[in-house]
Structure 1
């Protein structure tokens, strides 16, 4: 995977180096990256990464480790890094700047630790979009940390007691959202957050938060010119001297990255696509359209049900938290194909939707929000009584749709985003055992969404949703999916849209330039009109979706793997056995695509347990 790990305030004596090297081992499981480590008296750090992404410095009792290649915009600091080395320069800056200012001085994708035994202080920080994760735990007065929960668990003081709330949240969200984890003792830094440790005490604070400038007055022509320039510089910077390739799904984001890579590279970009032999899931033709348009050197692979069976245990092993996004499977095969071609870094198009307004729910919520503009007296005294009390209204299609609209529009944001949540539809009490639910708060997922949603100071609905999705959809879901899939394939990955300057640029667009009525990512598409093929601009969003539910109806080995997994999951007393039987015996035959998602989520939970046999609920 690459990453860093270590501790502060733990006296391991002469075994310090041995312990930190043991923690670092899981970080190199799949890509065999080099590991570098140092141990002082009561602190130690290790960083595991490919050349150029690992930085470690020790100056007496001061240890600095950096994973990634952070960009230094401060000229003096950049000059010091060029002459002294990045980690040494940041160690000097730590003494002058402190934790918050030092974190804010770093740009790009990174994780950093500074361990200062002389002052008894330490800092941890992850990048602004949370690309490089950092887990931490306070054990007595010792701060333990790692880029992976599996690495953190190898410290002698770390516990591995599972957290019922984290597992509940996994089934709700299909991932474990930060700052929570699957472990009771562990937490995870939020995007753009730093941790300051001093003499056994912890404080976490944001050093960066998305600030939207909603009153933009710049002309379209000026914005378009800057946008295209930023695209080129972001792709050029992300390449970093590597032999690069790009995921190409045929959507606007991946097609844009592929086209710009051809433009700045001066040669056909190496692009990689995944297809499926399943009606309604295969989008290879759009990837081919983009490839022909830009003249990329295109590579294709059709994932089969047998591939899925083979990949499932591997996916469960590489993810250090339960993870239920099935798109990790095609992403893995795509990255593996590129790795076989000698590609060392893949470009993902992730982030475009969350920066420029590309998710379908943004348009849908805009329509629901229109109901809030109707005067309350008119709604309560006239509209709602007429719609809900009309005799025989349940038999009139138009009235049924009106009732559904009003019911959803009446739910406050952000809970309205979860009205179709699978767990909510089944009902937690029908899914989980009473014993398990005794240790979880079923209201916590929506409460955490509300907290994150409420932290944004944006005035517009679209920007508040974008701020929420930067955390929930991007940092907690899509980025780990691609990062871990690439780790399993032994591949580095970069996300050009997440360049800090690009993120700041998107924050300066007006709400209408992101969502124009119900037109998604209006500015993005208009700025790229003539660059992207028209068929790509007008296509419906899809991506590397996996036809798991469809294949589960037909493919015996897949059926057997799912059945065995769910049978074993019953024994863990988390999910009710009768729910699993109903899910597989009735729900799946009624709607394979819809209910297949829950089969996948529960199957991957059991597969995650199997890869960690020492864990107990």
Structure 2
């Protein structure tokens, strides 16, 4: 391990149909004992140019350091990689803890045979890696790593979560760092560890007035920082509290972009218009159609480095595409606000279930439960059915209770998945991951434990990947002001009752921004860019044919049972299109991903039991 061989690769992908897939960045290197060799290809397209400008590179004989993204060290972004090397020599792997902002980094030190990889505290940027007897291969995008054999456990996780959560990747032996993690590779050994974790303080120590001033100062600074260095700024605007807040805090009249749906119950454009008028933004709208969705599906599947089943990526993509056509090169997204300040509806719902645990056990176990499930178990009065459902869910322990509506669990994995495929995976692994993450914050309030869970699974593995993919396709750089280090720290010190007061969501956030946001925005329920796929599935022939043909092709892969696909397409979606349409989308995007990445049927070979038991990533 006396040297380094690597390259930074900024490449342009091919075009798909009439819509160009914008240039996207993939930076990779191999540490394999060869002489130093750095090759940088010229970027093309605004999307790549923006990313290329945010790379700090330092190189000397036997050593290379690179930082991707927008980061600073000791308050300065100047000569970032150079100063990072000095920290590395003084502090070793803990050098990454001194960086702030959103970044992925690598330090390759041939003199010690070491490589350090790390990503930011929120996982805005990603780092993927795999190792073998030749050394370590790592990349900021898994597309830059060589494809191998599909990992059945990862495919199962996709069907459970509708994405593949870190640290696994879709291919065996490929892994991804989680938020706030580093990987230290030293002379053939891998050590993955945490350099940062959310540390909650639950007692109130600051009066509301001072807390509000601190919050607004940190929020304004975060927006300024996210917009700095770019004169072509825009913002997603769903009409919710987060996107509206950001649009109103941009110093110049903001250019805002919204997506609407001409379907009852889905369109939120009225709230976006309220926010746009209130803040005087230069507002742009587009109404998405089923035809747009059919056009975008193959493009999104081809651009995704691994299967991704969040349908909101489509409206996000068209929103970013509209902004790019308007000359915008950076889009601010409100992602993170729900997780940091108590905005998810399930927080209030789970608080109601938690109240049941506070009842005396004698009342619950000796009176109420025997009555509901015993003496009155056969009665089907609506009020009794509702009471039984409430108690059944309340009796589930956290975090399993959060998955009580999980589609794969509701259908039953054995009824959905091919028997041989199911035998090759650990069905309990996804819930085991959630359980481990939830109880890392042992002893804290339920809302903060749920926040820690959502920061990883809802945000880093899902929403951030959705927005990043949409912006990448459109050639726009995303930015996430709510995920600044200052606001992460502020949220950690915010008392639980200020996030969720009884069942009132965003209690502190809404009070602090009462003078900033329109009253209608403060009162609206969360919606975002949800898409009426189930409705279009029944009303649009072209989209339905694309979806059902994809599911028919999926039958040959021995992952999903053919009889379940038939039942889903012939019966279930006609009974409840919105509910069962979600599973149609998830399965369609899996097959589309497999097709677009030229993976033939039966490529998903069973994993051996030893690999499943060992887990996804070795540690020292």
> Secondary structure of 1:420's partner?
coil
Residue of structure 2 equivalent to 1:409: 394
Residue of structure 1 equivalent to 2:247: 258
Which stretch has the larger CA shift, 389-398 or 313-322?
Answer: 389-398
Residue of structure 1 equivalent to 2:105: 112
> Secondary structure of 2:454's partner?
helix
Q: Within 1, Cα distance between the matches of 2:184 and 2:261?
A: 47
| 1:206 equivalenced with 2:207 (yes/no) | no
Which stretch has the larger CA shift, 435-444 or 117-126?
Answer: 435-444
How far did residue 28 of structure 1 move?
10
- CA deviation map 1:212-237 (0-9, x unaligned): 11002211111111111111110000
> Secondary structure of 2:402's partner?
helix
Distance 1:275 1:34, change over 3 A: closer
Residue of structure 2 equivalent to 1:144: 137
Q: Within 2, Cα distance between the matches of 1:589 and 1:34?
A: 42
- CA deviation map 1:355-396 (0-9, x unaligned): 000001000110101111122232111111122223465322
How far did residue 402 of structure 1 move?
1.1
| 1:25 equivalenced with 2:22 (yes/no) | no
How far did residue 26 of structure 1 move?
6.7
Q: Within 1, Cα distance between the matches of 2:123 and 2:354?
A: 30
8 Å contact 2:153–2:425 — kept in the other structure? yes
How far did residue 66 of structure 1 move?
1.2
- CA deviation map 1:116-141 (0-9, x unaligned): 01110110000000110111111115
Q: Within 2, Cα distance between the matches of 1:200 and 1:27?
A: 33
Residue of structure 2 equivalent to 1:3: none
Q: Which has the higher relative contact order, 1 or 2, with Cα contacts under 8 A spaced 6 or more apart?
A: 2
Q: Within 2, Cα distance between the matches of 1:543 and 1:552?
A: 20
Residue of structure 1 equivalent to 2:85: 91
Q: 1:604 aligns with which of 586, 589, 595?
A: 589
8 Å contact 1:182–1:321 — kept in the other structure? yes
Residue of structure 2 equivalent to 1:156: none
Q: Within 1, Cα distance between the matches of 2:557 and 2:3?
A: 35
8 Å contact 1:27–1:148 — kept in the other structure? no
TM-score scaled to structure 1, two decimals? 0.92
Residue of structure 1 equivalent to 2:540: 555
Which stretch has the larger CA shift, 354-363 or 36-45?
Answer: 36-45
8 Å contact 1:27–1:151 — kept in the other structure? no
Distance 1:430 1:254, change over 3 A: same
Q: Within 1, Cα distance between the matches of 2:26 and 2:521?
A: 43
Distance 1:433 1:392, change over 3 A: closer
Distance 1:321 1:86, change over 3 A: same
Q: Within 2, Cα distance between the matches of 1:529 and 1:332?
A: 31
8 Å contact 2:11–2:24 — kept in the other structure? no
Residue of structure 1 equivalent to 2:63: 62
Which stretch has the larger CA shift, 226-235 or 331-340?
Answer: 226-235
> Secondary structure of 2:401's partner?
helix
Q: Within 2, Cα distance between the matches of 1:408 and 1:513?
A: 26
Distance 1:357 1:38, change over 3 A: closer
How far did residue 452 of structure 1 move?
0.7
TM-score scaled to structure 2, two decimals? 0.91
> Secondary structure of 1:321's partner?
coil
How far did residue 241 of structure 1 move?
1.8
8 Å contact 1:171–1:601 — kept in the other structure? yes
Q: Within 2, Cα distance between the matches of 1:582 and 1:38?
A: 47
Q: Within 1, Cα distance between the matches of 2:466 and 2:444?
A: 31
How far did residue 496 of structure 1 move?
0.3
8 Å contact 2:297–2:589 — kept in the other structure? yes
Distance 1:44 1:188, change over 3 A: farther
8 Å contact 1:67–1:110 — kept in the other structure? yes
Q: Within 2, Cα distance between the matches of 1:90 and 1:391?
A: 67
Superposed counterparts of 1:257-336, under 5 Å: 257-261=246-250, 265=251, 267-336=252-321
- CA deviation map 1:24-62 (0-9, x unaligned): 537899543688899983566678752531122211010
- CA deviation map 1:561-615 (0-9, x unaligned): 0111111111111101110010000000000000000000000000100111146
Residue of structure 1 equivalent to 2:214: 226
Distance 1:323 1:466, change over 3 A: same
How far did residue 399 of structure 1 move?
1.4
> Secondary structure of 2:285's partner?
strand
Residue of structure 1 equivalent to 2:618: none
Q: Within 2, Cα distance between the matches of 1:63 and 1:507?
A: 35
Q: Within 1, Cα distance between the matches of 2:27 and 2:449?
A: 41
Distance 1:304 1:45, change over 3 A: farther
Unaligned runs of 5+ in 1: 1-7, 154-158
8 Å contact 2:3–2:111 — kept in the other structure? no
8 Å contact 2:162–2:309 — kept in the other structure? yes
Q: Within 2, Cα distance between the matches of 1:209 and 1:115?
A: 25
RMSD: 2.0
Q: Within 1, Cα distance between the matches of 2:528 and 2:334?
A: 11
Q: Within 1, Cα distance between the matches of 2:471 and 2:268?
A: 21
Q: Within 2, Cα distance between the matches of 1:576 and 1:355?
A: 40
Q: Within 2, Cα distance between the matches of 1:45 and 1:356?
A: 43
Q: Within 1, Cα distance between the matches of 2:550 and 2:24?
A: 32
Q: Within 1, Cα distance between the matches of 2:426 and 2:24?
A: 40
8 Å contact 2:27–2:144 — kept in the other structure? no
How far did residue 319 of structure 1 move?
1.1
Distance 1:587 1:197, change over 3 A: same
Which stretch has the larger CA shift, 415-424 or 34-43?
Answer: 34-43
